[in-house]
Structure 1
Amino acid sequence: MKKNSTVTALLALGTAATLSVAGAQARISAQSIIVNPTQPDLSVSVRVDKDASGSQNPAYRVGENITVSASVNRDAYVYLFNVNPDGTVDQILPNRLSGENFVKANTTKSFPAPGDNFTYSVDGPVGQNKVLALASLTPLNLDQVSSFRTAQDQFATVSTQGGQAGLAQALSIVVNPLPQNSWVSDTAFYTVAAQNPVSTGSLFVGTNVNNATVILNGQRLGGANVTYSNLRTGTFPVRVQAPGYSDFTTTVAIRAGSTTNLNVEFAQPLSVAPAPVSTGNGVLDFIGNLLGAIAGNTLQDPARSAYDQKVRELQADGYALQQSRTTGTGYSGTLVRGSSTVTLTVDRGANRTVRVNVSETTTYRY
């Protein structure tokens, strides 16, 4: 048994094939532990919180809390034992934490009960476990079965040898002097598996600009300067976008149980080229803007020239440039005016062509 800030009683639970509850015949076996040879008018029912029917074999993982409950049809004293996969036995009730083990007729008592300052939680080893509930109309003397070894012990230590068979033999001796109609038993089964290994990781993306957006493996995560957790492990492409800056692209490796750090330093923002001096001829101006101005032996990208020209036209109509970025085939930008948003794309086409596309979205409130 272990303690936490309150008190945690660790029950060993586990993972194996389901075992059926034994019938009413008197025998000591791996399933029954101990069964009254008669059918007394006293009955007891033991359950774990994941199985209200008592006929299943629910699974718990190491570290998970569990509640055991017992119901009786007559006033009775209830004794609970947990048989671990390795054959060891824990006495759950009576203990020094949850008070007496007397249960009134037609009521259910949970262990731990609501308000108790302790919990039962699953511990190893993994494997098939079972809880035995033994109810008696009179208190039982368990000195031959278990004892509190020290005054500080909160749970009694089961001292019988031989695991489950030894417990059955010892309890048979305890109940043998009692009338057969004054005691009865029941069992509940459950399994415990090991905790799942950590299979997710985290990603932190830091930037030196505001309003950046992080896109991982084609999915938008959100803003930058944030740690994103529970991400699938592996190597994925990442794109970081910021209004007015060229996109930053790279790949990152997400590793289980760790945080991958990515710091993005954006360079000078994209700028719209100043308007060229007009020739007074609209056709010549358009061709000149499309081809770009020749400075020395350098010719400006025609797609960029067309993009800059269209941005200027939209700005003249009252739109404000919110974002510019380069794409694989050209340029893209977002401009806003009131409730209207314009998406501008300029792509290089075949045969020395440039395609300019403008789409507008307007939001109306009603």
Structure 2
Amino acid sequence: MNKKTLTALLALTSVTLGTASAQGKISAQSIIVNPTQPDLQVSVRVDKDATGNQNPTYRIGERISVSATVNRDAYVYLFNVDPSGTVDQVLPNRLSGDNFVKAGATKTFPAPGDNFTFSVDGPIGQNKVLALASLTPLDLSTISAFKTSQDQFATVNTSGGQAGLAQALSIVVNPLPQNSWVSDTAFYNVVAQNPVTTGSLFIGTNVNATVTLNGQRLGGSNVTYSNLRAGTYPVRVQASGYRDFSTTVTVRQGAITSLNVDLVPVAQPVYQAPNTTGNTFLDLIGGLLGAITGTQLQDPARSALDQKVNDLRNQGYTVQSTRATGTGYVSTLAKGASTVTVTVDRGADRTLRVQVTETTNYRY
């Protein structure tokens, strides 16, 4: 515990990450317990737990008060054991009067109206507050002392944390009648002032894809995205030539959520290569004339498109899309960084115009 001046912010050692939900009370035997059942009783609690049977949570820097109630006139001694094993003597001190409590009364530190505050400090972890009540004053000079006249709190000299405190107090109460002292223990948790509220998300795919989370584009796949607010969101994974994948993911605070997706290629239309004579000009004319199936003649514009698309497919290009226009057809193919657009337009006097445009992206 930090020893500050009367008007300073006094800090109580802090606590482990925990929840504020009620838990079964941990027995006072974890520190020191009277083997008999004296009619003297003491109850200790922190201000967030009026019953003393729970395990409330405090953030570092948050104010706290400790209270103890006795059923008989008694002297009350309060100690705090932090997660590192450091023991602080909370009561008696030089700030809030003596530690004598009347029967049925409650001693609170700090009391309402005191001109100082008591605040939670580090280290983070589970803290235990021990109240020891005695019908007679105890001599604690062997375990704690005020080092200087300016010290507001006594320094506890026991080593070994909780076990050391229990051993030292056992020696102190050993000469007393067994029915003249009793103890009680309260527990509380301390968490960081700014707890982690974000998590990370990794989207793995079998091809390069684009990831959209909750309607916002994150970027590419096979990347870990950090500092995402915890929660459950819709996610969409897209890649050209593959079916979109949609699902929901839950981003957990302080953790990495992984989603691995195998995107499925979009089924490409199958073009059957026409019979070829080996003569490009004759093959083109043959395609334009078409083949009569029943009474329907094949569209010459589509025949010209199929011929050119088939040539490109034989060169390793993959069809991305094909659509009809008001004057013919347009087909887009891709291979690596190159994209080819084939446009076929019908002209006047039964003419066709076939245009092939190639675009290649280079990285420098």
TM-score (norm 2): 0.51
Structure 1 pair 198–2 and aligned structure 2 pair: CA distance change class (3 A): farther
Q: Secondary structure, in 3 states, of the residue corresponding to 2:30?
A: coil
> Aligned residue for 2:13?
12
> How far 1:16 moved relative to its partner?
4.9
Q: Secondary structure, in 3 states, of the residue corresponding to 2:194?
A: coil
Query: Does the CA contact (< 8 Å) of 2:3 and 2:152 recur in 1?
Result: no
| In 2: Cα distance, 1:76 partner to 1:4 partner | 28
Structure 1 pair 188–198 and aligned structure 2 pair: CA distance change class (3 A): closer
| In 1: Cα distance, 2:175 partner to 2:141 partner | 15
Which amino acid letter does the alignment assign opposite residue 88 of structure 1?
A: T
Given candidates 148, 151, 159, the residue that maps to 1:150 is: 148
Query: Does the CA contact (< 8 Å) of 1:127 and 1:191 recur in 2?
Result: yes
> How far 1:173 moved relative to its partner?
0.3
> How far 1:159 moved relative to its partner?
0.3
> Aligned residue for 1:32?
30
Q: Secondary structure, in 3 states, of the residue corresponding to 2:162?
A: helix
Q: Secondary structure, in 3 states, of the residue corresponding to 1:166?
A: helix
Structure 1 pair 184–112 and aligned structure 2 pair: CA distance change class (3 A): same
| In 2: Cα distance, 1:167 partner to 1:97 partner | 23
Given candidates 117, 131, 134, the residue that maps to 2:132 is: 134
TM-score (norm 1): 0.50
The structure with more radius of gyration: 2
Which amino acid letter does the alignment assign opposite residue 71 of structure 1?
A: T
Written as runs of structure 1 = structure 2, the 5 A alignment for 1:55-94 is 55-94=53-92
Query: Does the CA contact (< 8 Å) of 2:5 and 2:152 recur in 1?
Result: no
Query: Does the CA contact (< 8 Å) of 2:17 and 2:191 recur in 1?
Result: no
Given candidates 111, 114, 122, the residue that maps to 2:112 is: 114
| In 2: Cα distance, 1:59 partner to 1:45 partner | 19
> Aligned residue for 1:22?
27
| In 2: Cα distance, 1:99 partner to 1:11 partner | 19
In the TM superposition, what whole-angstrom CA distance separates every residue of 1:215-236 from its partner, at most 9, and x where no partner exists? xxxxxxxxxxxxxxxxx9xxxx
Written as runs of structure 1 = structure 2, the 5 A alignment for 1:1-366 is 1-3=2-4, 6-16=7-17, 20-22=25-27, 32-196=30-194
Could you say what the CA RMSD is over the residues aligned between the two structures, in angstroms?
2.2
> How far 1:7 moved relative to its partner?
2.4
Query: Does the CA contact (< 8 Å) of 2:6 and 2:116 recur in 1?
Result: no
Structure 1 pair 16–168 and aligned structure 2 pair: CA distance change class (3 A): farther
Query: Does the CA contact (< 8 Å) of 2:69 and 2:106 recur in 1?
Result: yes
In the TM superposition, what whole-angstrom CA distance separates every residue of 1:299-327 from its partner, at most 9, and x where no partner exists? xxxxxxxxxxxxxxxxxxxxxxxxxxxxx
| In 1: Cα distance, 2:3 partner to 2:139 partner | 26
Structure 1 pair 75–180 and aligned structure 2 pair: CA distance change class (3 A): same
Is 65-74 or 12-21 further displaced after alignment? 12-21
> Aligned residue for 2:332?
none
Structure 1 pair 198–184 and aligned structure 2 pair: CA distance change class (3 A): closer
> How far 1:117 moved relative to its partner?
1.4
Which amino acid letter does the alignment assign opposite residue 105 of structure 1?
A: A
| In 2: Cα distance, 1:74 partner to 1:4 partner | 33
| In 2: Cα distance, 1:176 partner to 1:5 partner | 35
Structure 1 pair 129–140 and aligned structure 2 pair: CA distance change class (3 A): same
| In 2: Cα distance, 1:19 partner to 1:82 partner | 20
Structure 1 pair 195–106 and aligned structure 2 pair: CA distance change class (3 A): same
**5+ long unaligned stretches in structure 1:** 24-30, 200-231, 233-366
| In 2: Cα distance, 1:64 partner to 1:172 partner | 33
Query: Does the CA contact (< 8 Å) of 1:72 and 1:107 recur in 2?
Result: yes
> Aligned residue for 2:306?
none
> How far 1:198 moved relative to its partner?
9.9
> Aligned residue for 1:219?
none
> How far 1:8 moved relative to its partner?
2.1
In the TM superposition, what whole-angstrom CA distance separates every residue of 1:12-51 from its partner, at most 9, and x where no partner exists? 121256684227xxxxxxx521000000000000010000
Query: Does the CA contact (< 8 Å) of 1:2 and 1:8 recur in 2?
Result: no
> How far 1:5 moved relative to its partner?
8.2
> Aligned residue for 1:292?
none
Which amino acid letter does the alignment assign opposite residue 132 of structure 1?
A: L
The sequence identity of aligned pairs, in percent, is 76
| In 1: Cα distance, 2:3 partner to 2:76 partner | 24
> How far 1:167 moved relative to its partner?
0.5
Structure 1 pair 198–167 and aligned structure 2 pair: CA distance change class (3 A): closer
Which amino acid letter does the alignment assign opposite residue 39 of structure 1?
A: Q
Structure 1 pair 43–90 and aligned structure 2 pair: CA distance change class (3 A): same
| In 1: Cα distance, 2:49 partner to 2:195 partner | 26
Which amino acid letter does the alignment assign opposite residue 10 of structure 1?
A: A
Structure 1 pair 127–2 and aligned structure 2 pair: CA distance change class (3 A): same
